[in-house]
Structure 1
Amino acid sequence: MMRVVLTAAAIALASPAMAETAPDAATLAAARELMQVTDVQGQMRALGPRMAESMGQQMRQMFKDDTMPEGLRTELTAAMQAYVGSMDSYFTPAFIDQLATIYARHFTVDELRRVTAFMKEPVMVKFRAETPAMIAEMLPLTFEAMKPGQQQFIAKIKQIVADWIARHPEDKAKLRSPTAS
């Protein structure tokens, strides 16, 4: 079910990258400094275990009285911890540099320096430190808030795909799961 939602979101957000001029060296350097100050990898390291716990809570809700069979819980917990425990490894220097390039395209060097200075303020240091815990608290609320429309959304996505395949049967082979339609 979540795979369908994520696939639909990926398709909706995917578009060819527009040709952009490369930012100048000073702006890119300022953006890189911002990435360093915000410590993306550290944020992911702190967020990972909390995300795993939130996902575990969501999975437990699939069972009566939120009681998941112990063996299943153990296997799912191990898989989630392995996945989220490695999340910060996805944020390689090359990836972070790509993020910096995006910031450099959207902000001037002066704006980036101002944001970086602000991110160094004690209140922002605290904000970054507290964010992983706050997100972990917010995730269950977000999932719960999305529930009312989730089934309808998933049904709509499945119907759109089924209708597409009915009109374009040659595309059925392109689906990861031929039974998905």
Structure 2
Amino acid sequence: MRLPTLLFALALAVATPALAQAPKPVDSAALAQAKVFLEKSGSAAIGQQMATAILNAQRAGLEQANPGKTAEINEVIGLMQAEFTKQLPPLIDAMAAVYAQHFTKDELTEVTAFYDSPVGRKMVKEMPQIVSESMTVAQTFGQKIAMEVMIKLQPELEKRKLKTNKS
């Protein structure tokens, strides 16, 4: 549970200052087209998928720490899901503003047209599974690299009299 919780906390730490800053002015037509692009590209669905992954990790951690409290955990997870859902529209708005800062309305229209094509629709259909599989690959790869780095740097940790969670 630590890795997903850490990643979520890191995402919040990075996103919070960015969301708090005054947004740069953007063309309203580009902003509107960016929202269309995000909808057609399936970005909101992927955001929901990631929120579900975070909630599942939280559920697992809560169940491990609170055996026999399934009903209470389900209630809390439901509340967390409602909060994630409530925050999705402002997130989409913020993401649309970022796209509108980098692309013109016409450019976003061209990119959006891709998602109206057969291969674009296939991309949207397949993307949740691709993201899921990619997250698994990245997590496995990340754990492997972290372990290799820790083994390689163990002498440096010992030299500096630093302990790890396993020592």
TM-score, normalised on structure 2?
Answer: 0.57
The equivalent of 1:112 in structure 2 is: 108
Contact 2:38-2:96 within 8 A present in 1 as well: yes
Tell me by how many angstroms 1:112 deviates.
0.6
Distance 2:128 2:80 in 1: 13
Tell me by how many angstroms 1:48 deviates.
5.6
- Name the aligned partner's letter for residue 42 of structure 1: A
Counting aligned pairs with the same residue, the percent is: 21
Check if 1:136 corresponds to 2:135. Answer: no
User: Aligned with 1:147: secondary structure?
Assistant: helix
Relative to structure 1, the CA distance from residue 113 to residue 82 in structure 2 (aligned partners, 3 Å threshold; closer, same or farther) is same
Contact 2:38-2:44 within 8 A present in 1 as well: no
The equivalent of 1:177 in structure 2 is: none
1:94-127: CA deviation from partner (whole Å, max 9, x where unpaired): 3322221111101112111101111111211111
Q: 1:25 aligns with which of 8, 24, 28?
A: 28
1:30-79: CA deviation from partner (whole Å, max 9, x where unpaired): 22222332344334455665x379859xx7xxxxxxxx98x95994x958
**Count of aligned pairs between the two proteins:** 141
Distance 1:42 1:12 in 2: 22
- Name the aligned partner's letter for residue 118 of structure 2: P
RMSD between aligned alpha carbons? 4.2
Contact 1:44-1:88 within 8 A present in 2 as well: no
Which is worse superposed, 110-119 or 38-47?
Answer: 38-47
Q: 2:41 aligns with which of 32, 38, 41?
A: 38
Distance 1:53 1:20 in 2: 29
Relative to structure 1, the CA distance from residue 80 to residue 40 in structure 2 (aligned partners, 3 Å threshold; closer, same or farther) is farther
Check if 1:127 corresponds to 2:130. Answer: no
Distance 2:46 2:36 in 1: 16
TM-score, normalised on structure 1?
Answer: 0.54
Relative to structure 1, the CA distance from residue 91 to residue 107 in structure 2 (aligned partners, 3 Å threshold; closer, same or farther) is same
Q: Mapping of 1:82-93 within 5 angstroms?
A: 82=78, 86=82, 87-92=84-89
Distance 2:122 2:76 in 1: 27
User: Aligned with 1:132: secondary structure?
Assistant: helix
Distance 1:45 1:6 in 2: 14
Relative to structure 1, the CA distance from residue 52 to residue 129 in structure 2 (aligned partners, 3 Å threshold; closer, same or farther) is farther
Distance 2:42 2:7 in 1: 29
Tell me by how many angstroms 1:22 deviates.
0.8
- Name the aligned partner's letter for residue 124 of structure 1: G
Contact 1:31-1:100 within 8 A present in 2 as well: yes
